[in-house]
Structure 1
């Protein structure tokens, strides 16, 4: 408690959804003092977002929470494409992701369970969420941020070095900062049902059902036909009051797709938005998750992007607060993550537009092309595009950041390692659980790996040569706490360098 009853903290996190909780948990693991608040009574009870992609699973592994996630998730090895009720083929994502990540399947774990796992993990670090505290004012005097919260016992003032806005699409942080939220609203309305006793679906798989004038998407949520079912609402389905009778939806999907269910635990309609904040940073304030970007549910990317925003930012803040890097290190958050959001919104907007279009050509594709050529396309297209590339897009393991303002060298472009998440070799991810800067060698001389790391004051790890050949034995790699490769250096150059010399690219990264 500061002077005059003011709460003092390094970081104030506004919003205790998945993104805010991920930021709080990561900061706790990194030893950064943080306070997380939310205007709600407690964690979300509705299932809401559903899919946890491979990259997010890797983050849970770093935080020591993966066993709980694995115990509670429903695993889907891939997706089934069908025309009405006729199966056209399978997209075997688990096989596509083999060798890329320890978690190649689709993990189905609703938002409410993600939040509970993170809340419990945070509790075990000795930190709690301050529920029923709503942000009402935000000021940025020199070198700090002052927030006013409205709590059950009256106003509360918090003085922080940094504020993270993780408070959703209607973010008070974003609005108080005056940051535009640019984009469009999809013309369609959609329904979502968490169904019990679902029938007519291929159990254990994501189901994608097409019809000339309709689409249905489902995700497995557990035994007994527990499934999430989504679809498009037609205007003539709505009542005069704009409501959608669930009985009408059940009748329609039964006729069109031979899909039914006994009852639902949650049924709702919603409009989709595609928006990205004009800035992800304003002084000492940052936006993550839905406060920064919202988009369609195509590919199950939304919650995952927010989790990765929060993890990226928390690691950057810890570099400043704990390692003493200059605050320019934080500029990379906006550069790296806003580019990801813009690309994701653009991609999902185009994909969802094609899938849900009412145009005649779209009807022709869904009604004639897909049932006729779908089986052939599922066999031919993945090898043409590259199964690893397809998996990388969906799982968010293919993201790449630009680590330097300098133009990459020809060797860096060929190597295609710097700026990407560290390639998984089968046993090297255990080292990432320390959430620290590290020097890695994969067949490089152990003494050289140790010497460079010691000179930089970071961890070092020696591994056997990469069986997939993505990490080279003639290179040293500098790995950030978030698991991305920040720089590489030649072993030959390191061996020739004086004992106190370190690669310039490594020193540049550690200087912020």
Structure 2
């Protein structure tokens, strides 16, 4: 038997190794590549996913695609869901999702753009930009030596019967719910698994569903969420199964009978149980978890893929800042501090909801029917209120707020700090450079303080007609489009002391 020594293997050195080339891993790799950071993205699959799987792209994810210059590609190929409807009555068509979000985002509504297409768009952009994407590479071993002087994260990968050694400063585990990276770290994946069985099917020529609407249907013992995938009745059905083991024919026949549907050809069918789990940590040394490797929950709300895309965007720009010396290594703690609470909130909300409605027993069935009656009348009314706008923000995932510091210094005492920058004029186009910026809204032209040249601005925009961004402030904006600080203007001069305090808190280089 031939002994293979690790140091004799072909070796690749890089800044970041990304394990997993689903939407999360591809987003991380693309953002790193756009920021000029060397990264290797690997996956055991032979290419992008072919099944549709995750379906919805929400407003916040569209804003990220826009920053990467990919929004028009997605919009051109997506099918937009414009309404939320409870039940099937044409007299209760449900609220227009876009009206809940107009003015708050440039991309109102839900874009139905399945996972396979997201992976295709992201992988094409990554390779076109010179990114290093390697299919058929399976992770065998991962060891973090970065606590040692000059140490690296070292990965052993199997590909085409051979072995490859990758050495990186950091590793991102984006390899799904069964994450090999998470297992190598021995991190608990805490949570629960629902006992009920759900099924999902992508079906053509479905009749009995509203056009271009996300539709909730309540039956006597089950319920279904119906997503439009395209014209002519191309539909995604997600439903609580009427029994634990169910075949494709049984499931669709039951749905047809229960909800008054007819259907044609089936592209994809699968059954599953809903997991609500969050990794105990999102960071262990120089290794990070993102997407389904870090958190899983019900797919009914269409939030999972979007949360993973946003994990990757947050982490990749943070790693790029550290690699390029713009922030010190202590800033990396911010990833877990910011993104894990988002995952916990999402998992807790879906867990509680499924504890109420995700059962086949009589009491949950009664609750579902009561909710359906109430929802058919209440949802359109709520949509016209301020609460409706808030719900639109939660659905679009642009109401997320990060807490940067424990106390509340002056530069944090503005409601927009910790939130993604609201759209005003062409301010989001300015952020396509993916760097730190100073922004002014409806004010004069304050002088630029002495700052590193990679902090752009001050950029001047018109007044915010919604009053979210103030005339008497200069805003420090992060590369991921979140507002890092609100700095007072005094006689049109930037309060440099407050700006430096904010920069120090964000671990920015002051040189």
Q: Is TM more than 0.5 here?
A: yes
Distance 1:374 1:276, change over 3 A: closer
Give, in whole Å, the separation in 1 of the partners of 2:52 and 2:254: 24
Q: Distance in 1 between matches of 2:292 and 2:107?
A: 25
Specify the alignment match of 1:144 in structure 2. 152
| Matching residue of 2:124 | 120
User: How well do the aligned residues superpose, as a CA RMSD in angstroms?
Assistant: 2.1
Where does structure 2 lack aligned partners over 5 or more consecutive residues? 1-6
**Conservation of the 8 A alpha-carbon contact between 1:137 and 1:148:** yes
* Partner in structure 1 of residue 485 of structure 2: 487
CA deviation vs aligned residue, 1:338-385 (integer Å, no higher than 9, x gap): 0110011001111233232345443223334533x3343124434566
CA separation of 1:159/1:259 partners in 2, compared to 1, >3 Å: closer, same or farther? same
Q: In the TM superposition, what whole-angstrom CA distance separates every residue of 1:418-440 from its partner, at most 9, and x where no partner exists?
A: 10000111421101111000000
**Corresponding residue for residue 198 of structure 2:** 190
Partner of 1:388: 389
| TM-superposed deviation, 1:154 | 1.0
Matches within 5 A, 1:366-381: 366-368=368-370, 370-371=372-373, 373-381=374-382
The residue that corresponds to 1:42 in the other structure is 47
Q: Distance in 2 between matches of 1:446 and 1:323?
A: 29
Higher mean C-alpha deviation, range 119-128 or range 164-173 = 119-128
Partner of 2:342: 340
| 3-state DSSP of counterpart to 1:61 | helix
1:320 counterpart (309, 319, 322): 322
The whole-number CA distance in structure 2 between the counterparts of 1:118 and 1:369 is: 39
Instruction: Tell me, in whole angstroms, the C-alpha distance in 2 between the residues paired with 1:137 and 1:318.
Output: 25
Give the equivalent residue in structure 2 for 1:165.
173
- For the residue of structure 1 that corresponds to 2:223, the secondary structure is strand
Query: Residue 7 in 1 paired to residue 8 in 2?
Result: no
8 Å contact kept, 2:487–2:499: no
2-structure distance, mates of 1:494, 1:9:
45
Distance, in Å, in 2 between the alignment partners of 1:292 and 1:501 is 35
Q: Deviations over 1:474-510 (max 9, x none)?
A: 0000000000000111101772868x99542234325
Pair 1:424–1:444, CA change in 2 (3 A): same
Distance across 2 between alignment mates of 1:394 and 1:379 = 15
Aligned-partner Cα distance in 1 for 2:371–2:289? 42
Q: Secondary structure in 2 aligned to 1:69?
A: helix
Quick one: distance in 2 between partners of 1:416 and 1:298?
31
Q: Within the alignment, does 1:505 sit opposite 2:507 as a pair?
A: no
Alpha-carbon contact 2:357-2:367 (below 8 Å) kept: no
Give the structure-1-normalised TM-score: 0.92
1:219-234 mapped onto 2 (5 Å cutoff):
219-234=227-242
1:77 to 60, 76, 82: 82
Unaligned runs of 5+ residues in structure 1 are none
Structure-2 residue corresponding to 1:67: 72
Moved more, 136-145 or 463-472: 136-145
The alignment covers a number of residue pairs equal to: 498
Q: Distance in 2 between matches of 1:90 and 1:322?
A: 49
Of the three residues 91, 96, 101, the one matched with 1:92 is 96
Once the two structures are superposed, residues 177-200 of structure 1 have per-residue CA deviations (whole angstroms, 9 ceiling, x without a partner) of 111101110111111110011111
SS where residue 179 of structure 1 aligns? coil
Q: Distance in 2 between matches of 1:28 and 1:194?
A: 34
1:91/1:378 contact within 8 Å kept: yes
Report if the CA contact (8 A) 1:455-1:502 is conserved.
no
Whether 2:400 is the aligned partner of 1:399: answer yes
CA contact (8 A) 1:193 1:267 kept: yes
Secondary structure at 2:490 match in 1: helix
1:90 aligns to what SS in structure 2? coil
1:209 aligns with 2:227: no
- Match of 1:468? 466
